[in-house]
Structure 1
Amino acid sequence: MWWVVGVVVLAAVFSAYLGWTAQRVERLHTRARSAERALDAHLLRRAAAAAVVAEQAESVELYAAARLALDAEPGERETAENDLTRQLRTVTLDPADPAARTLIGTSRRVMLARQVHTDLVRDALSARRRVIVRLLGLTRRYPRPEYFDIVESALPDLPPLPSPSPAPPVEEVRPVQAV
C-alpha cells in the first residue's frame, strides 16, 4: 500500500515540474516577443528622430539612411539599422537642439531595448535546449527567437538639464502658547 502512495506522490511532483517548465518556456517566449516589439518601436522612433535631424542639418546621407531604416523589411532591418548608426556617428549633434536631444535619448533607449531583447532571447534559447523540453516538444507552438545584432551607437552624452531656481527657504512656524 505504501508504494501506491509513493508512486502517486512521485507522479504529482513530476507533473508539477512539467507544468512549471511548460509555463516557464511559454513565459520566456512571450517576453522575448514583447521585447522584440519594443525594440522595433524604439528603432522606428530613432529612425524618425534621425530623419528630423537630417532635415534640419540638410544631410542627404543621414536622411536616406533614416528612410531606409523606416522602410526596411524584416530581413533587411539589421543592415538598415547598422547603416543608420554609421551615419549617426558622422553627424555632430548640438545637445541644446530639441531634435538632437530627442535623437540622443531614443538612441539610448534603443541600446537598452536591444540589451533586454538579447537577454530574453538568450534565456528563451537556453530553455529550449533543456532535455525535457526537447523530448516533450514544449516549444513547437513558438517560433525560435532570433538575436537582433546592431552596432552600438556612439552619440554624445546629454549635458544635465539646468536645475530650476532653488525654492525660497521655508520659515519655521511656532505654535502659539496659551497664557
Structure 2
Amino acid sequence: RVLLSSLPGAAVTSIKIDGVLHEFDTVPGVREDVMQIILNIKGLAVKSYVEDEKTIELDVQGPAEVTAGDILTDSDIEIVNPDHYLFTIAEGASFQATMTVSTNRGYVPAEENKKDDAPVGTLAVDSIYTPVKKVNYQVEPARVGSNDGFDKLTIEIVTNGTIIPEDAL
C-alpha cells in the first residue's frame, strides 16, 4: 500500500483545448471525443524534475496519429512513454492544447484539481501521481545449508517507467 500511495510522481492536472468548453464536446477533424482524449492523456507517464507546476503544449496539424511524443515540453518535463496514443486527426484539421503538470502523491480527483481562476474551458483532470502500477509479493520456504527454517520473499513491482522498481523499493 505504501508503494502505491506514498511515492511522489507527476501527472497532468488540467487541459485547455482550443475551441472546447466542456468534456462532452468534440473537436472538428478529430476521431476521438474530448472525453476519450482526456482518458488517453491520463495515461501519460510524466517525469518532472521540478516541484513547481509546469505547462506543456500540443499543437498538431492533420492528418496524423498523435502520440505523447508530439507534446512540446521543456527540459524540466520528460514524457517517458512517447509512443502512447492520444488521438487521430484528419487532413486539414488542427488541434491546440495546453496542459498543466504538477507533482504530488497518490491520486487526486478532478474536483480537487479545479481552480477558480482558471480560464473558461479549462478542464480539470483526475491525476494519478503514483509511478507504481502494480505490487505483488510471494513468501516461500527456503533452505540455507541444513537449516530449513527460513523464508524467501519475492517482490514484483511494475512501474510506469518514470522510476525503476529498485528505486521504488
With structure 2 as the length reference, what TM-score do the two structures score? 0.27
Q: Larger helix proportion, structure 1 or 2?
A: 1
Q: Which structure has more strand as a fraction of its residues?
A: 2
Larger radius of gyration: 1
